[in-house]
Structure formats: C-alpha cells, structure tokens
Amino acid sequence: MRFSLYSLLTIAALVTAAEAASVTVSDAWFRALPGKLPAAGYFSVTNAGRGPVALTGAQSPGCGMLMLHMTHNMGGMMQMMAVEQVEVPAGGHVAFAPGGYHLMCTEPAAALKPGANVPVTLRFSDGSQLNAIFAVRTATGR
Ligand SMILES: [Cu+2]
C-alpha cells in the first residue's frame, strides 16, 4: 500500500517536470536605452503543453525590478500598464514585442549594455521556472 502510493507520487512529479519543459522562449532581447532609463525586454513564449499556462513574473540580476508590462493606446497616447499575468494557450504562443507586452527592466545594471547577454528567470502559474538568455541591443534594435 505504502509502496504504491509512493509510485503514484513519483509519477505525478515526472508529469509536472514534463509540463514545465513544454514551455520554451525564443528571440529574447533587451532594448537598452541611454543612462539609467528602463530597458524593455522582448521575446516569444511557446506552450507545447496540453493545458494553458500563465507567465506570472520575471527577475534578472541585470535589473532592479523586472515587471510584466503592456503598452496600449489611450486616445492616441501610448501608455504602459503593469499586468498580473499573461496566459499562453495550450499549443500556442504569445509574442512580447514593441507596442504590446514587454518586460520592464528598471534600474538596469552596468552589465546591461548592447552586445552583452543577460540571464532572465521567468516564473509560471504552474510553479515552474524557465531560464533564458536575453541579448542586449541598442535603442534601434541592433
Ligand atoms: Cu513598460
């Protein structure tokens, strides 16, 4: 009895690990601005799993704070707002791109300069985390 319960728990743990591995990140980069201006982070997140998963947060040693933001048009004025989470549908992807969702890196560290690579940890609603390398580019995206 005790042994079979242990087996079930082991299987549950393996399934959780497999689901975490079904989320991938690509085309990750930061747009660095001069001085201490916040840098925006862009990437594409793909969910190959069977259920939806939400991106709930991010952190990086290159940033004082790293927040989920969305740019939206309010009467012709582009404004940014913080968002709690961004859902990635099962079998789908969400693009964090200029004009839409982005990561907002406040108090960028000295290491966050064009040509550098900066690690970012993304947190998801299922408790999993994903480490991604963001390439730092200039204000023009180069
Ligand atoms: Cu922002």
CA 92 to chain centre: 15
CA 31 to ligand 1 center in whole angstroms: 11
Residue 118 lies inside a defined structural domain of this protein: yes
The CA-to-CA distance between both ends of the chain, in Å, stands at 61
The span from the CA of 28 to the CA of 64, in Å, is: 19
Q: What is the pTM of this model?
A: 0.83
pLDDT at residue 19, as a whole number: 45
Residue 142 lies inside a defined structural domain of this protein: no
CA 24 to ligand 1 center in whole angstroms: 22
Residue 31 lies inside a defined structural domain of this protein: yes
Tell me the per-residue pLDDT of 43-71, one tens digit each, with 9 for 90 and over: 999 999 999 999 999 999 999 999 999 99
Number of structural domains in the chain? 1
CA 79 to ligand 1 center in whole angstroms: 8
CA 68 to ligand 1 center in whole angstroms: 8
Residue 24 lies inside a defined structural domain of this protein: yes
CA distances (Å), 102 to each of 3, 14, 18, 39, 63, in order?
A: 47, 32, 27, 10, 14
CB-CB neighbours of 124 under 10 Å: 20
Look at the block and give the residue holding tokens 């991106």.
Answer: 55
- Look up the domain containing 86 and give its range: 2-137
Tell me the per-residue pLDDT of 7-55, one tens digit each, with 9 for 90 and over: 555 555 554 444 456 899 999 999 999 888 999 999 999 999 999 999 9
- For residue 6, pLDDT over 80 is answered with no
CA 99 to ligand 1 center in whole angstroms: 10
Three-state DSSP class for 88? Answer: strand
CATH code, 54: 2.60.40.1890
The span from the CA of 3 to the CA of 56, in Å, is: 36
